[in-house]
Structure 1
Amino acid sequence: MACKTETREIAGKQVFVRQWPANKAMDMQIGLLTAMGDESLAFVMGDWNFGNLMYVLQRVEKQVFLPFVKECISYARIDGKEINAANFDVELSGELKFIYDLFSFVVEVNFKDFFVEGLAVMDEIEKQKKQKMLLQSQTTPTEQSQ
């Protein structure tokens, strides 16, 4: 299956992101959860807010989180210009909010489908458990012994 691509306007800039190949995506998914834990979900779903970011920044290991974010946003294109280690500071200095918007877009392109599907499966399992418990609670003691 081909890697998907998406373009979005963020802060008045055209941002292009290409989904990672499977091996890199699996590696980066572990990195995401290692670096951010449960708080990664808000970024993956594209609905993070400043409170989510502050919570993450107060709890992350700097030596894990910063290289991870930089690796995530490397190779995204902003107004046609690819971001890489050589031009990271030139292109993104003074743009901290934009950096996290870009980071969220990259992890959304790469992981949102996976998490949406996984959460739907978990939700269905939970519904089935509740339904089973309800049915068991409605069964009379005589019916249970038969």
Structure 2
Amino acid sequence: MSASAEQVALLLRACDAGFVPPLSARVDIDAYAAKLAAQATLVEAWDGDALAGLVAIYCNNHDTGIAYISNVSVAPGHTRRGIAGRLLGEALVRARAAGMRGAALAVHDANAAALALYRKHGFMPAGASGLELRMELAFTSEHPQ
């Protein structure tokens, strides 16, 4: 199943308060959902016909070979079940299959749960801009995603 922009927007609204800071304080959720649905590779988890989680990754920068993870969201009521980790792992597999040599993302330095998830998958801090931390993962034999 492939999520529509409307389904992505519903998930992002449900997860809004869990983002640090809230996603709606940074982006127009409908426009962002439309961009993700149209341009990103979405790795999705479903509960029946409801989108329960997603990882949005861009695997289109062949100049740098770095995939960019734009969003990791799991709906309230579906958290603490390993969904985010499973989706993130699958997104990294897809990035490597697309010829990427690594992945990067940005996360607020106060988002402890997200930082733990990314570190568990091998991401390391690679710089900061204000309260936003850039994390990177090189695809190696130790991280064969």
Give the TM-score taking structure 2 as reference length: 0.30
Using CA pairs under 8 Å that are at least 6 residues apart, name the structure with larger relative contact order, 1 or 2. 1
**Which structure carries more helix by proportion?**
1
Give the TM-score taking structure 1 as reference length: 0.30
**Which structure carries more strand by proportion?**
2
